[in-house]
Chain A
Amino acid sequence: MNETEQPVEVNTVIPFGPQHPVLPEPIQLRFTIHQDKVVGVVPNIGYIHRGIEKACELNDYKKNVSLCERVCGICNFMHAMAYCEAVEELTDTEVPDRAKYLRVVWSELSRLQSHLLWLGLFADSIGFESLFMHIWRDREIVLSLNEKTSGHRIHLSTCAIGGVNKDMDKGLISEYKSGMELLERRIRELAPVFYKDRSVKDRTVGKGVLPKKRAMLLGAVGPTARGSGIPQDMRRLGYEAYSNLDFEPVVHDEGDVHARLLVRLEEVFQSIRLIKECLEKMPEGPVMNKNRRFPNGATVVRIEQPRGELFYNVMGNGTKRLRRCRIRTPTLANIPALVDILVGYDVSDIAPIVMSVDPCISCTER
């Protein structure tokens, strides 16, 4: 090189995904890298679009429960529940009290399942393999409860329009109680690792910072927003039996990856507590009311999924087919925040930062 020549500033573009060991699902992020620092990110979605919204319009509205349940594998029960809530509102169907409590129990079970899955995957993304395996072994407690409830480990398929189609007997309730006790003990043993361990803190503290104002501006939802100090939790709207339960959203103010990690960890304990409370308070009675009308009109349902606010806009026209079923999932709302928090950090931090918003892509694309 000639002495008078300046070194040329070169930016490198690195595609991350759609297939990448860190990503559980296909999304592509194109990183512009300058000297090992991320300076720009362009997200690219559309790899697993399945046309579920359109299929909802072609299907019988009752069959859509199974279809909506398959929008997402992890929070399948909540999708079915949101859809059922919308149709119940359009058909003036009253849900029995016991069914409301059972829906809360199973939604919290989905949240537990999802958060434990995420905690394991996150540990894996920072290279902490043994923690990953410990957490996933403990997650089996939740999955076996799922299996005992409905016969499948992941897809509960227990939600139906007008209530739920399964009831819990005394034996199952006591199995739930003992399962929750065991899970709480196990996760309490592991919790100090997330709070104190240096190998976790080195990779998370001060990384991917999303200040509160920025989170509001970008419309972040769920644990991503709560990790930035925004106490936003749709469960406080009081749908199903949540209005009778006692809880406060878990909020951390730091806004970094570690804060989002702790939000999810503490929500595991919160969910366990909510399940126990529901099992105590659950009244006796029927679990299903028949609906006798076709859905007519339009409604909006907002519920809290493990990743944030889930939004269903269902429009009926008085026939057995719907006019429109619009689904907005939390990951879609979190993508602007994800793009924002990656800028300015090292390439080696990309994996934990991407994982920290818990992207669920098949939800996003429906």
Chain B
Amino acid sequence: MHILHGALIKMPRMIKRVLRSLLSRPATVRYPFVKPEPARGTRGGISFNMDRCDLCQDCERVCPSSSIKIYQDSGRIEYQPFRCIYCHICVRTCMQRAITPSEMVRGPAYEKSVDVYEVHR
């Protein structure tokens, strides 16, 4: 009796929530079949535009995970996407706007690859 009484009192509130849950879209997406839309400004991987870069090493200095190595002599940049924590501090630091942020993070892989960029002289 006690339980029945409780249920009757709670019913209107619960019905509202149940109906809303029933009629609204699911909160999750069916991932492998549906790709979730990244929000505007999602921090993902980065790529270097070597036409703009002047090898000033600012990005190397600020990168908290030491994912960027700049070789000024050979005009080469090595970027390790598997060390990168996608903080985009380098993007904000680069005065030449040579680092292009993307919304995609690097997918899983068997080997830790390194992206190499070279200045065309």
- Residue numbers of A with Cβ under 8 A of B are 59, 62-63, 65-67, 70, 134, 137, 140, 144, 147-148, 150-152, 157, 165, 189, 192, 198
Contact = CB atoms under 8 A, between A and B. Distances in A.
Contacts, number: 42
Interface stretch (B48-56, B80-88, B111-119): B80-88
28 contacts: A59-B64, A63-B62, A63-B63, A63-B64, A65-B64, A66-B65, A66-B85, A66-B87, A66-B89, A144-B39, A147-B39, A147-B42, A148-B39, A148-B40, A148-B41, A151-B41, A151-B42, A151-B88, A152-B42, A152-B43, A152-B86, A157-B43, A165-B92, A189-B13, A189-B17, A192-B10, A192-B13, A198-B6
Contact of B27 (A65, A140, A147): A140
Contacts of B40: 148
A59 B92 CA distance: 20
A234 to B, nearest CB: 27
A150 B89 CA distance: 12
Contacts of A192: 10, 13
Contact of B64 (A67, A147, A151): A67
Contacts of A70: 85
Contacts of B41: 148, 150-151
B33 to A, nearest CB: 20
Contacts of B86: 152
Contacts of B63: 63
Contacts of A66: 64-65, 85, 87, 89
A193 to B, nearest CB: 9
B62 A151 contact: no
A62 B62 contact: yes
Contacts of A189: 13, 16-17
A201 B85 CA distance: 43
B43 A151 contact: yes
